[in-house]
Structure 1
Amino acid sequence: MEKEKLHRFFAGTTSIQEGMDIRAWMEASEENKRIFYKERKLFDALMVHDDQTTNNCISTKRIPKIIRQWLKIASVIILTLTINYLYQKYKSENEVIAMNTVSVPAGQRTNITLPDGTNVWLNARTTLQYPVTFSQKQRTVFLKGEAYFDVTKKKKTPFIVRTDKYDIEVLGTQFDVDAYPDQTAFETTLMKGSVKVTSQHFPEQTITLKPHHKAYVKDGQLAVTKVNDFTPYRWKEGLICFKDEPFQT
């Protein structure tokens, strides 16, 4: 890094882009940090020496110079804060989120615990993708297939399940989602708490479920019906349920 550019940065005369470049260069290695602070000390020493060579008597001509020095220091502080904000914003927007992916083959089921403590049962032929660490704003997972969620309650951090067509948003609840990508059917059944179901393609299609109710698709629209029999949702216990299906030998 050129010393002249560093000194212009300390003096507050660099552009915002130059300041961001200097900030990124400084953060790249410990050696760069050492050079940065070394040049900063040298720059400060030169500033002090320049002040000492002037007349010690305060005159009407010196007062504007003092003001200029304070304005220069203030501009350096403001520029540094601006660069730091833009650098952190750029870093967060371009940060790659590490994801975990769990896939369950046909004929099997599995139970996992998410980073926030949420318990999830995955049915056969189901894939769940979730971040290694949830953000502070929301907890988003991606589901293909069927899963039963027992969500850890966090009022300020909503839990969102994204399927290929619909989003389910909750705060803390127990519910089942049936959304296999190779099937046209979609169902969300609420056992406890509250969930909001929203169409990804038609955001105006949104409903809020009450416990013991199910959201499903009818004629391309979201519909709601009451659930009286929860036996079909005991698949997570390893039970296969049949209704009005005769056994043949």
Structure 2
Amino acid sequence: MNRQMSDLEQQLIDYYNNKLNEEQRRKIESWINASEENRQTARRIFSFMLAIEVQRMHKKTNTEEALAKTKNKIKNKRRTIWLRWTQRSAAALLILLTVFMLWRHPQSNDQDTTAEIIEVQTVSGMTIRLTLPDSTYVCLNSESTLKYPSRFVKGTRSVYLSGEAYFEVAKDPNRRFIVHTPQQTAVEVYGTHFNVEAYPNAPLITATLTEGSIKFRYQEGTEVKYMPLNPGQKAIYNTATQEVSRHPTSGISELAWTEGKIIFDNTPLQEALHMLSKRFGTDFIVTNPDLCNNRFTGSFSTEQIEKILKHFEISSEIHWRYLNKKDASQKKKTIEIY
């Protein structure tokens, strides 16, 4: 019995690593869908695999950081983005990370209906690195959700994002890669590097392109429109007015989070607070609207939020303080800017 279970677990591992042939894959999928107990076993194996990957990347990240220090932080134009988080303990992260396997989830016509839909969520103040079945690299930011099939088989490659993520899409001229986002928006590409921020309740949705080309798809009334972007451009979509604008950008500030940094580049107060909120899982209340005219420049990596806000105080007339929680159910800290 133990031997049979061991063989089965190995087959599940090979299945998620796309190492099975077509006949083996179908047998495993039939077994998975045969009962809820089987589905739970498959979920357990997938969660275990992801946990191992988190620990492996944690060790590799620390090694790379140590090497970088001994080499006096030699600059390299190649961007290597590792798993980043505010809690350095891998064990703590494994508790925070939530992974859902949704079996036989309704899917669009361009995906194989037998593929599972994998849903990955990050909690406040946490980011994670993923590689999709087509070798597309994804860095998922704090409080974000990404849904994608266990494999891309037909037509387009579609994923669903709620939150923020950086994509390095594997090139495939025959299949578009589409990132579906809230408010009937999407980003369409064939192979390129870009960042998308699309939190469900945020007033703005942004797409920043660093390499290749993309089309930002949006809704204007009942009409579907497209805005093409070239490297060094950012699309900003106002969800209330359904208006979209295009802006030049270096991408440094927008992508800093993927390297565990916060970079302000003449950044308005409200945008700066939004960046801090994602990084530290903190809510902000601005009680003096005049302060929103302030802009900030600076780079931070390992600094705590108090030190960054001290920078605000020194460079402007801004003051801040923690507010006592009125509701015990509130999980986030609240800071007043006055």
- Quick check: TM above 0.5? yes
Is 1:144 aligned to residue 209 of structure 2?
no
- In the alignment, the residues of structure 1 paired with residue 122 and residue 222 of structure 2 have an alpha-carbon distance, to the nearest angstrom, of 30
Q: Which of the numbers 119, 129, 141 marks the counterpart of 1:101?
A: 119
- In the alignment, the residues of structure 2 paired with residue 228 and residue 150 of structure 1 have an alpha-carbon distance, to the nearest angstrom, of 17
Contact 2:181–2:198 (8 Å) recurs in 1:
yes
Structure 1 equivalent of residue 234 of structure 2: 214
Structure 1 equivalent of residue 249 of structure 2: 227
- Residue identity matched to 1:106: S
Structure 2 CA distance for partners of 1:222 and 1:102, relative to 1, 3 Å:
same
- How far did residue 202 of structure 1 move? 4.3
Contact 2:141–2:164 (8 Å) recurs in 1:
yes
- In the alignment, the residues of structure 2 paired with residue 232 and residue 119 of structure 1 have an alpha-carbon distance, to the nearest angstrom, of 17
- How far did residue 223 of structure 1 move? 1.2
- Residue identity matched to 1:147: A
Contact 1:205–1:221 (8 Å) recurs in 2:
no
> Superposed, which structure 2 residues align to 1:15-94 within 5 Å?
none
- In the alignment, the residues of structure 2 paired with residue 150 and residue 175 of structure 1 have an alpha-carbon distance, to the nearest angstrom, of 7
Runs of 5+ unmatched residues, structure 1: 1-91
Structure 2 CA distance for partners of 1:131 and 1:172, relative to 1, 3 Å:
same
Say how many residue pairs are matched: 158
Is 1:199 aligned to residue 218 of structure 2?
yes
Structure 2 CA distance for partners of 1:128 and 1:227, relative to 1, 3 Å:
same
- How far did residue 93 of structure 1 move? 9.7
Is 1:154 aligned to residue 172 of structure 2?
yes
- Residue identity matched to 2:208: T
Is 1:247 aligned to residue 265 of structure 2?
no
- Residue identity matched to 1:188: A
**Superposition misfits of 4+ residues, deviation over 6 angstroms:** none
- In the alignment, the residues of structure 1 paired with residue 147 and residue 232 of structure 2 have an alpha-carbon distance, to the nearest angstrom, of 27
- In the alignment, the residues of structure 2 paired with residue 195 and residue 140 of structure 1 have an alpha-carbon distance, to the nearest angstrom, of 15
**Higher gyration radius (CA):** 1
Structure 2 CA distance for partners of 1:130 and 1:229, relative to 1, 3 Å:
closer
- In the alignment, the residues of structure 2 paired with residue 183 and residue 143 of structure 1 have an alpha-carbon distance, to the nearest angstrom, of 14
Structure 2 equivalent of residue 188 of structure 1: 207
- How far did residue 229 of structure 1 move? 5.1
Contact 2:122–2:144 (8 Å) recurs in 1:
yes
Structure 2 equivalent of residue 118 of structure 1: 136
Instruction: Compute the TM-score of the two structures, normalised by the length of structure 1.
Output: 0.59
- In the alignment, the residues of structure 1 paired with residue 111 and residue 234 of structure 2 have an alpha-carbon distance, to the nearest angstrom, of 37
Deviations for 1:146-166, whole angstroms, at most 9, x for unmatched residues? 000000000001100000121
Structure 2 CA distance for partners of 1:203 and 1:197, relative to 1, 3 Å:
farther
Runs of 5+ unmatched residues, structure 2: 1-109, 268-294, 297-310, 315-338
Structure 2 CA distance for partners of 1:94 and 1:117, relative to 1, 3 Å:
closer
Contact 2:207–2:235 (8 Å) recurs in 1:
yes
Contact 1:116–1:152 (8 Å) recurs in 2:
yes
- How far did residue 221 of structure 1 move? 1.1
Other structure's SS at 2:312 match: coil
Question: Which is worse superposed, 195-204 or 173-182?
Answer: 195-204
- How far did residue 96 of structure 1 move? 4.8
Contact 1:178–1:186 (8 Å) recurs in 2:
yes
- How far did residue 184 of structure 1 move? 1.4
Identity %: 34
Other structure's SS at 1:198 match: strand
- Residue identity matched to 1:103: Q
Structure 2 CA distance for partners of 1:185 and 1:173, relative to 1, 3 Å:
same
Other structure's SS at 1:155 match: coil
- In the alignment, the residues of structure 2 paired with residue 93 and residue 143 of structure 1 have an alpha-carbon distance, to the nearest angstrom, of 16
Contact 2:111–2:155 (8 Å) recurs in 1:
no
- In the alignment, the residues of structure 1 paired with residue 124 and residue 132 of structure 2 have an alpha-carbon distance, to the nearest angstrom, of 22
Q: CA RMSD in A?
A: 2.2
Deviations for 1:139-187, whole angstroms, at most 9, x for unmatched residues? 0000000000000000001100000121110000000000000211110
Structure 2 CA distance for partners of 1:236 and 1:222, relative to 1, 3 Å:
same
Other structure's SS at 1:121 match: strand
Q: Which of the numbers 160, 167, 172 marks the counterpart of 2:186?
A: 167
- In the alignment, the residues of structure 2 paired with residue 122 and residue 202 of structure 1 have an alpha-carbon distance, to the nearest angstrom, of 31
Instruction: Compute the TM-score of the two structures, normalised by the length of structure 2.
Output: 0.44
- Residue identity matched to 1:216: I
Other structure's SS at 2:256 match: helix
- How far did residue 222 of structure 1 move? 1.4
